[in-house]
Amino acid sequence: MASDAERQQEEHQQPNPKLQIYSTSSNMVSPFWKEKYERDAKKYWDIFYKRHQDKFFKDRHYLDKEWGHYFSGSGKMVVLEVGCGAGNTIFPLIATYPNIFVHACDFSPRAVNLVKLHKDFTESHIRAFVCDLTVDDLNEHIPPSSVDIVTMIFVLSAVSPEKMPLVLQNISKVLKPNGHVLFRDYATGDLAQERFSCKDQMISQNFYVRGDGTRAFYFSKEFLANLFTGKGFDIEELGLCYKQVENRSRELVMNRIWVQAVFRLSDLQNAAGKDTCDEIELCHQENVGPAVSEKYMELLLEDTEFDMSDGIASTMFAVSPTTDNEVIDVNLKDDNFKIRVLSREYQHTCKSTGLMLWESAYLMASILSQNPIIVLGKRVLELGCGCGGICSMVAARSANLVIASDGDPKALYLLNQNISSNLKPSLLGKVSAERLEWGNKEHIEAIRALNQEGFEVIIGTDVTYIPEAILPLFSTAKELISTNKAGVNDAPALILCHVFRRVDEPSILSAASRYGFRLVDRWHAGNLGDSHQSIISSWFSKDRDEVCNPSTALNIMYFQVE
């Protein structure tokens, strides 16, 4: 949405109000904020550990399962844990391999202090110190060529990509020739990265800022291979690892991807003449799937320890941060709402996407505000409305009955607050917030009891991003849509507004056809040259090119029952 100043300027220049669909800016953060996130990176992580202490990540016992043979050599082994955080890697290693000594560093003083306060911390086994590897010299803390193994577990992704070579150069000073780097971090295509695709949180390619100011880079195998080989490392292992994370409360399965690798520091005699091009190319060719052993894939299926610091699944891993809310101003043509949502600083730890507002909801609410005839005198059901319910509240001005539904009790709690605080008493009687898990027969019957005749308009905004939920979505819509026949423009309709993410259009059309829905009209915000008249195009002003950003990925699909 445009800022207040931009909106006022546009209204001054254009007497007739226009529908603002999407910000005219790109998804990139401004240079000012990019510089601030870089300058204050330490501060943001320090705040993170102040808030979460040692309760965010679970201990990483999978290091022993996958990389145990690197730690089980004879004699005392020296390990450097880069970005030690609260010690979730250190202490499981010490417990399993009592003969190792660990240098643990982090650029967050609060994180290092958490390590020192841990009940298992002993100076005979651990030396913890503050160090920014992009600036500070590791040799001031660790003797040159004295470390056997460096562990880098979800840490390099927090560094600006242009500074990553500095980190590798720093650790190579203390790593023994033929010493190893054990690496695990975010991979491109991960579900967490997809969540950033429609937010103004991109710093640079594959590099994003979270709601709390911390940052995350998503690695491709090619980028990672070139990064390490360019600093004198050989590749021993490099692959993508996949895991399905189940949200049992919502009966959803989410795919997570990370990159796992082992790099070896070339000795000085072999490094100069070694040609690594063939090895890197081999890794590229494996990019279509995980380059991991069958044994390791079995471990993945058994492994319940999974530590992502952002994305939908974070709180599934024993994470229970204290949450807070913030209020967002939503200003439409004739409607102004103050919507309470989950505070942005906590959204990266939130497992429910229903506790925030999405661009598609803004768009659809704007359309309904501009075109009340869409729902005039009709019975309306909003599916998966989340805590905002702005489409339902706009529709209440013109519709006879509106049901705002969601399957998440937490979202419904905020939804009820938003409805009661934003709607006039005369409209409150028209709107009801109800729990509806798609495919749940008990919930469907409860909704049907509120409206035996079925709904003439069913709306869903950004409800098509989980593949496993598509069939239950259309099944539920078929159960609840009105069976009354009318002309094309007045027949009961299912309207979906979304960004294509993990589910493409053919998959949606296939599911729709299975339950008797026919696509009557479609609209894509990027196809501004298409001026043909249709149901959806009639909702917009003639000068669409002035109010739509050609780069936006928003889509609308208009279905009717066969």
Let me know whether 228 and 336 are in one domain: no
Let me know whether 249 and 363 are in one domain: no
pLDDT above 90: residue 500? no
pLDDT above 50: residue 85? yes
What integer pLDDT is reported at residue 537 of this predicted model?
86
- Contact indicator for 128, 105 with CB cutoff of 8 Å: yes
Let me know whether 417 and 487 are in one domain: yes
Distance CA 290, CA 310 (A): 22
Return the exposure string of 82-108: e unless at least 16 CB atoms fall within 10 Å of the residue's CB, then b: bbbbbbbbbbbbbeebeebbbbbbbbb
CA 302 to chain centre: 24
Let me know whether 118 and 191 are in one domain: yes
Other Cβ atoms within 10 Å of 322 Cβ, number? 7
Let me know whether 177 and 303 are in one domain: yes
End-of-domain residue from the set 282, 316, 350: 316
Domain count, the chain: 2
Partner residues linked to 217 by β-bridges: 207
Residues 6+ apart with CB under 8 A from 376: 398, 399
How far apart, in Å, are the Cα atoms of 318 and each of 167, 214, 304, 312, 521?
31, 21, 11, 13, 44
Let me know whether 347 and 411 are in one domain: yes
Q: Average of pLDDT values for 408-415? A: 88
Let me know whether 372 and 257 are in one domain: no
Q: What is the pLDDT of residues 28-83, one digit of tens each?
A: 888 888 888 898 888 888 888 788 776 666 677 677 778 888 888 767 899 999 99
What integer pLDDT is reported at residue 56 of this predicted model?
66
pLDDT above 70: residue 168? yes
Residue 35 lies in a domain: no
What residue spans of 292-337 are helical by DSSP H?
294-302
| Residue 540 pLDDT class (50, 70, 90 cuts) | confident
Q: Average of pLDDT values for 488-511? A: 87
Let me know whether 465 and 384 are in one domain: yes
Number of continuous H segments (helices) and E segments (strands) in the chain: 19, 19
Residue 51 lies in a domain: yes
Residue 433 lies in a domain: yes
Distance CA 108, CA 50 (A): 10
Residue 32 lies in a domain: no
| Residue 322 pLDDT class (50, 70, 90 cuts) | very low
Token reading at 488:
């094309």
Residue 530 lies in a domain: yes
Q: What is the pLDDT of residues 229-278, one digit of tens each?
A: 999 999 999 988 877 666 555 555 566 788 999 999 987 534 433 333 33
pLDDT above 50: residue 349? no
Let me know whether 517 and 384 are in one domain: yes
Closest CA to 114 of 149, 90, 134: 90
Residue 511 lies in a domain: yes
Which region among 6-20, 62-76, 362-376, 538-552 has the lowest average model confidence (pLDDT)? 6-20
Closest CA to 382 of 491, 484, 497: 497
pLDDT above 90: residue 159? yes
Residue 34 lies in a domain: no
Q: Is 122 exposed, middle or buried (0-12, 13-18, 19+ CB in 10 A)?
A: exposed
Let me know whether 452 and 400 are in one domain: yes
Q: What is the pLDDT of residues 420-444, one digit of tens each?
A: 999 988 898 899 999 999 999 999 9
Let me know whether 412 and 519 are in one domain: yes
Residue type, 10: E
Closest CA to 358 of 332, 331, 390: 390
What integer pLDDT is reported at residue 247 of this predicted model?
58
Distance CA 402, CA 392 (A): 6
pLDDT above 60: residue 122? yes
Residues 6+ apart with CB under 8 A from 3: none
| Residue 199 pLDDT class (50, 70, 90 cuts) | low
Distance CA 106, CA 160 (A): 16
Mapping DSSP to helix (H, G, I), strand (E, B) and coil, where does residue 342 land?
strand
Distance CA 192, CA 311 (A): 4
Q: What is the domain extent for residue 404?
A: 4-27+330-561
Residue 474 lies in a domain: yes
- Contact indicator for 221, 240 with CB cutoff of 8 Å: yes
Q: What is the pLDDT of residues 358-411, one digit of tens each?
A: 788 889 999 999 899 999 999 999 999 988 899 999 999 999 999 999 998 888
Residue 367 is part of a domain; what is its CATH number? 3.40.50.150
Q: What is the pLDDT of residues 335-346, one digit of tens each?
A: 889 888 765 544
What integer pLDDT is reported at residue 178 of this predicted model?
92
- Contact indicator for 424, 455 with CB cutoff of 8 Å: no
Let me know whether 248 and 356 are in one domain: no
Q: Average of pLDDT values for 495-510? A: 89
Q: Is 196 exposed, middle or buried (0-12, 13-18, 19+ CB in 10 A)?
A: buried
Other Cβ atoms within 10 Å of 485 Cβ, number? 10
End-of-domain residue from the set 261, 293, 316: 316
End-of-domain residue from the set 286, 316, 346: 316
